[in-house]
Structure 1
């Protein structure tokens, strides 16, 4: 059986939304049409692709094999479109980037600024999200390049470049914990702290170390905004946890201090430039990835 473009579109939507009804709403189709198309695919392939339950649908082992085929088909068609456009003399490209907020300034000032004028035929789409959101976007084909802090190891993505960025305690000037070169997490947690939500690389790392050490994370502020974390610290309200590069301006202004966290897991944390695993990259995506690896400060220091 050969899956056509409509089959693939429906299949990927059902997988993404874990629901026939939600996928149908996203596609602008009746749920009965989506359900029938999935049933036809399962009949023609001779295997069930989804397990159905009251909570939605999940992929079977066979469904995971079809998923990989569907994603490759979408990506290969994108490469074909780019190559055919070259033959027609049409150079318009679209490259999608998904990154953590902490990399935003570096990406725009050092990464994008250095390639924008050299690639007038490329439109860049930039989204900001948590580490989990970046990984999901890459795995689902919603982004071409991802930049995230300390992502978990997964077979769905591969790192093009990485560099060590220890997780630090960000302290108000003159804070008692600023006396030493490093500080223990247990000492930090005796003071008010602010965190990003779960799903962000910094918080997930903190949670793992705290669990292993028998410590409880009890933040006074949870926010999706790194700027809010910085202001929490500079206003003298307490401690945040970020890589040094995320608070470079505050350090330069004397509005904050940083101390590396003592646990080895914190000192070995790293930033990653990623693409989907096993994907052949279109020329426009490969060009941007190569450029970012050499241009972004986040990846030029691999100490």
Structure 2
């Protein structure tokens, strides 16, 4: 109309024509909103830390929703574990049955059973086995919920490392638990023989499942060692050169840590955990050097 201030879009002109000074003010605000919108047309992504920040209540609500989903997943897994309890039980008791096959009293593997000394022990063992099985079955869901909770706070370059780290951590944990399961029969044989021939072997279900659970957990967590080292090097807390210089002290520290963390305290299990951790120590240095070189090369190209 010849009186509209320059630089306003059609929305600002409409406000100017309709309401005079008030329209000009509203139009100016609209123009500012239009002009400050991203060039790609996005109005803001709540999952992008550059675009939005969640309030404390929103964080708590999001955390509650994720926790509820995790609890539901574990409950569903525990229900499946309760239904398929016998299958899980047979899998977990296999190392003990291998121990029985070494006895000279003519006891068959099929007759090798755990000794329940409490009327309620059978029910409590079923609940524990079902719960542990439920957590194992729900692990993919748990990891996914954790990832979805922390994802909005990560930048693109951090997300690039996050998925490989999560997948590697899961694979290494399963590998560590598998090695613990594989070494357990040998550990049981050692622990039985070291007590002498005057001891009769009859494990209670609670003690046995506590041992096998702690063994698999200790090995699984121990196999996360390279993930932690690589992460600390990528964020700058540690440097590959530092780890290489203190290699001897690190090996001694690993030996002490393994001796304390291994529940069975037998040399077979300790070696089965210590040797991979020493190898992982060296591998983490190599991997970190490669990733840091790639990062420097990418930064050089960007500049």
Q: Shorter-chain-normalised TM-score: which range?
A: under 0.3
| Structure exhibiting the larger radius of gyration computed from Cα positions | 2
Would you tell me which structure has more helix in proportion to its own residues? 2
Bigger RCO of structures 1 and 2 (CA < 8 A, at least 6 apart): 1
Give the TM-score of the pair, scaled to structure 1.
0.24
Would you tell me which structure has more strand in proportion to its own residues? 1
Give the TM-score of the pair, scaled to structure 2.
0.24
